[in-house]
Structure 1
């Protein structure tokens, strides 16, 4: 066991989520790794890279066969930070895997994703990391697909650990993997770039905290399912109005067709997207502001606009 590589698993759907449990089971059953789990004790979808700063967070030991596991009262970034700190576990993992998320994380949704943040936090600390998401679709996907998704990722995980052991694995990026809905019949791996895809949303006024149901994960956006609506309403005071997000549909930027993640996940590929931490501006923005900034002082004052 001492010579086996150590993998730490986290997520944003919570430590009891089927995606995490399937990934851990596949890793453990391979008998190739020491497996640690440090994941949120409740769902933390779409919290992005938020961290707990002003108060302590609690860690609770959880029984997961074959793994050493803790549930953390914090965000995915908190879980990774604590899990790699040697404060919770006696060693630093060789690889951090965040997922498997219930719902894809492509395009602009990578910014919202707690799953991606779990991997990004390891990257911040120069530890190789992979975020993994499955394109769950209501009425078509099954819980068993998480196991298929985990098995489909095993060649990448194993190959990455080989490079990590040889100290040839690049530390200037981390990987974001998205698996297609029909993962059993996937078309193989596809190296992609983060695209501009985004699900457009609107806000609807509601009368109950639970009206409209609960979004299952970071970016599930299940367009086919209808969630039950609570019949109990709240006695809302005049100064308290409830609003809930509604999904209008997916949008792929018209110019965004060059090897991008969302496009190829929809086509049935397993997309592998190297990510960094810097938010670089779109092409053309820097040149615009390079010409614009020197002239700012010559512009009319705000009062004259």
Structure 2
């Protein structure tokens, strides 16, 4: 995420983010790849450390804070969701998928380590995500077993066939096709939105919430997740590779349906703004005392430049 100072209802977002990001980076460095064989561990750490916006873990921590939840459980959940995101990028960049050579401003994992190590690194990161939220006995005894099970369920659903993996399958099948707005929205609700929404719900699961609050937070996460993809499509057109840290213009080159190709640039921008308003409206009805961090993160998604 950008480090620019954002004031939302008295919240200095950059100041709020600083200790959160420090805890996330320290935990990831402590947990990722340390017990793996040397080359595999190096590939895992290369995929995760020293790059990325960390939006998903920040959403976990912000939602946990909003519900007054357990910070120890939330930090594990935050790192877990970032590992799922990182593994998906490693696999998406491979020649059998998007065949990309640049990610987070550096060569992709398969370019740096070879396809076999990249495949294994992604597999290992996915497994490690679940190890973190359901660790061996004694490693996180303070986190109730029921909470661990709930976090595993939310993460599995967000990442699997009814979430991110399912959306990616639809994306691959849609190359060269004309999709309707509803079809494009459904694809991205799964491919991108499910993990972002899951991040919010995992943070909320680290505390106690009522049904109405969970439903409102789910609506916030859904709107935010879709807004992120709309902005991603816009940036793929208007930004350069150096700014994005990945190959610009690759969606058009691959003849993939996007919000810009469907709505035009200005139409896509207007839709992103509409989704941001929907996210704020959901927060307004969630009944929580302080959702400033979640609100500021939604605005940051709309304003991001990479």
TM-score by length of 1: 0.29
* Structure (1/2) with the larger helix percentage: 2
* Structure (1/2) with the larger strand percentage: 1
TM-score by length of 2: 0.29
Structure with bigger RCO (C-alpha 8 Å, 6+ apart): 2
